[in-house]
Amino acid sequence: MAPGSTSDAPHLVGPSYGDVIVEALTRYRTRDAFVLGERRTTYAELADMVGRTQQVLADHGVRAGRGVGVLSPNAPEVFAVQAATFLTGARYSGLHVLGSVEDHVVLCEDAEIEVLVVHPAFAGTAAEIADRAGSVKHVLSIGPSDAGPDLLALCAAAGPRRLAAPVVDEDTTAWLQYTGGTTGRPKGAMLSHRALVQEVQTLTASWGLPERPVYLASSPITHAAVLPVVPVLARGGTVVLQQAFDPDAWLTLVERERVNYAFVVPTMLYTMLDKADPASRDTSSLETLCYGAAPMTPSRLLEAHEAFGQVMMQVYGQTECIGMTTSLRKDEHDPVGRPDLLTSCGRAALGVRVEILDDDGAAVADGEVGEIGVRSRAVMNGYWKREEETAEALRGGWLRTGDMGVRDDGGFLHIVDRTKDMIVTGGFNVFPREVEDVLTGHPDVRQAAVIGLPDDRWGESVTAFVVARPGAGVDAGELTALVRSRKGAHQVPKRVEFVPELPTTVVGKIDKKALRAAHWTGQGRNVH
């Protein structure tokens, strides 16, 4: 071996994600690792499940560099398959339970998934996928079904296996995670062992994780809800699973399991506030309620603060950096002392460098709008099989997020909007989120989405889609007058349309692509 090589320098070689998983699963053997309904899975049982699953995957041809996919609601076996994939040195991808068959086929073929693990509820879907996706060689079912061999029975027959992490280069892709698709066809972000280890460190330090967490995962752990799982297990905590979000059931689980940590997207919080009356339930165990994946309006954030107390914590990031960019701590959610921070996504998380960049990649001065750029060990290697888009996203040594933001003199970032969502009307730039925050500040408005629509005179006209609160009597004139008084005439919506609900993506973000499609198709603009 050549002197001075990385292999000769142990201080330059970091642990794999598999190393972290093995340590997390083998320290607290008698504690509960997962809770699903009345079922409780100890750490020892989980470690055994992972080892047996690893053997079954190997028996079906899974080895380093091969693709494994999972389509299932939340269950301990979902994490076991993920962990076994990482310990095999293979590549994991999650299929979203709300996705279409066409979505799943495209993802399986693009990700080159060879083994697909599905819940029995998706047996029919799995059959269609297997027929159409040529890459899929084996379908395994989490329990008996017509989808394929029973993974649980195969694990029982496999016999115990000692957990051991593979020796892999830390830049090896472990998780091929697909973007949410609000700006076009989803792309596979290549997330390495290095990035996943950094995610555990950054989340533990900057996401308000309690000393002994009891984490309620109510969105799919096939996707972003898995991010706190390994940090929770590394601290000897417990992961409480909800297979489909229901606000009353969510509150019941908080009470019953004394949940102290949870992650929700804003639409879930809105549903709880509007339909479940959280203030009437015992949520005193909650220490941290993280929200992210989409912006939350200040008026609704105040409602959440009143309902749950000072436990709110905002986290901001993207698939391309495993969600690790900034955080706004609980004590920084201060409606009285620092109301200006309710529109902030916080400061850079530990292990992350964030700058506001101009088009040439140079940092702009505080107070100036630019694109948010990220440098971190959690940043992806690039997009799977998309060299040009990788070069664009990672140009100049930064992850270019496509989010426009501004940093104040205290170092707090405020996201203005997505670059592609900006409206150009009569020569003025309008950032929809600023108008949305004004609209949702009206007491009778539940949600709002603002887009630009084609206009012969203005190029684009500011258009608002508004969901009113039940029984509200607000009219368009009130709302346009409110925007005029707060933001000026050029930002006033020329049209306000009241709708019963707004379209959302499978991850709970407002789907502006769907709102734009009916109006921009054939008009020469990319509706994505």
Positive or negative: CA dihedral 131, 134, 138, 143: negative
Q: How far apart are CA 5 and CA 310, in angstroms?
A: 50
Per the prediction, the chain carries an average pLDDT of: 90
Residue 498 β-bridge partners: 466
Burial of 457 (0-12, 13-18, 19+ CB in 10 A): exposed
* pLDDT tens digit sequence for 298-333: 888 899 999 999 999 999 999 999 999 999 999 999
**Distances 399 to 33, 347, 403, 451 between C-alpha atoms, Å:** 35, 17, 11, 26
Which of 97-106, 281-290, 516-525 has the largest mean confidence?
Answer: 281-290
Strand duo 39-42 + 413-418: pairing: unpaired
Q: How far apart are CA 485 and CA 492, in angstroms?
A: 9
Please count the residues of the chain: 528
Q: Which of 502, 308, 279, 298 is nearest to 414 (CA)?
A: 298
- Please report the pLDDT score of residue 523 as a whole number: 46
364: phi > 0 → left, psi -120 to 50 → alpha, else beta; which?
Answer: beta
* pLDDT tens digit sequence for 31-46: 999 999 999 999 999 9
Out of 65-79, 361-375, 439-453, 511-525, pick the least confident: 511-525
Tell me the average pLDDT across 274-291: 94
Residue 354 β-bridge partners: 374
Write the DSSP string, 31-89.
SEEEEETTEEEEHHHHHHHHHHHHHHHHHTT--TT-EEEEE-SS-HHHHHHHHHHHHHT
pLDDT confidence band for 217 (50 / 70 / 90): very high
Q: How far apart are CA 357 and CA 363, in angstroms?
A: 4
Positive or negative: CA dihedral 105, 110, 112, 115: negative
pLDDT confidence band for 4 (50 / 70 / 90): very low
Out of 271-285, 462-476, 499-513, pick the least confident: 499-513
Q: What is the CATH number of domain 41-168?
A: 3.40.50.980
Percent of the chain with pLDDT over 90: 70
- The helix/strand/coil state of 358 is coil
Contacts of 317 (CB under 8 A, 6+ apart): 292, 323, 324, 325, 326, 349
pLDDT confidence band for 173 (50 / 70 / 90): very high
Q: Is the per-residue pLDDT at 525 higher than 50?
A: no
Domain 422-520 class in CATH = alpha beta
Tokens of 152: 């649980």
Tokens of 365: 């001065």
**426 or 7, greater pLDDT:** 426
Look up residue 1 and give its DSSP letter: -
Tokens of 253: 């689980």
- Please report the pLDDT score of residue 166 as a whole number: 80
Q: Is the per-residue pLDDT at 524 higher than 70?
A: no
Q: How far apart are CA 517 and CA 474, in angstroms?
A: 27
**Distances 402 to 64, 183, 419 between C-alpha atoms, Å:** 33, 10, 5
Query: What does the domain layout of the chain look like in residue ranges?
Result: 41-168, 197-418, 422-520
Tell me the average pLDDT across 101-115: 94
- Please report the pLDDT score of residue 427 as a whole number: 61
Out of 446-450, 493-497, 506-510, pick the least confident: 506-510
Q: Is the per-residue pLDDT at 3 higher than 50?
A: no
Q: How far apart are CA 388 and CA 239, in angstroms?
A: 39
**CATH fold for the domain made of 197-418:** Rossmann fold (3.40.50)
Q: Is the per-residue pLDDT at 29 higher than 50?
A: yes
Out of 39-43, 368-372, 482-486, 509-513, pick the least confident: 509-513
- Please report the pLDDT score of residue 526 as a whole number: 42
Q: Tell me the residue ranges of DSSP E strands in 121-254.
A: 138-141, 173-178, 188-192, 214-217, 238-241
Positive or negative: CA dihedral 293, 250, 206, 298: positive
Q: How far apart are CA 465 and CA 434, in angstroms?
A: 14
**73 or 452, greater pLDDT:** 73
- Please report the pLDDT score of residue 182 as a whole number: 44
Tell me the average pLDDT across 92-101: 91
- The helix/strand/coil state of 179 is coil
- Please report the pLDDT score of residue 458 as a whole number: 72
Tokens of 83: 């962990």
* pLDDT tens digit sequence for 52-85: 999 999 999 999 999 999 999 999 999 999 999 9
Tell me the average pLDDT across 105-116: 96
pLDDT confidence band for 454 (50 / 70 / 90): confident
pLDDT confidence band for 507 (50 / 70 / 90): low
Q: Which of 378, 214, 202 is nearest to 289 (CA)?
A: 214
- Please report the pLDDT score of residue 430 as a whole number: 80
Angle of helix 17-26 versus helix 43-59 axis, rounded to 10: 140
The reply to whether 197-418 shares the fold of 41-168 is yes
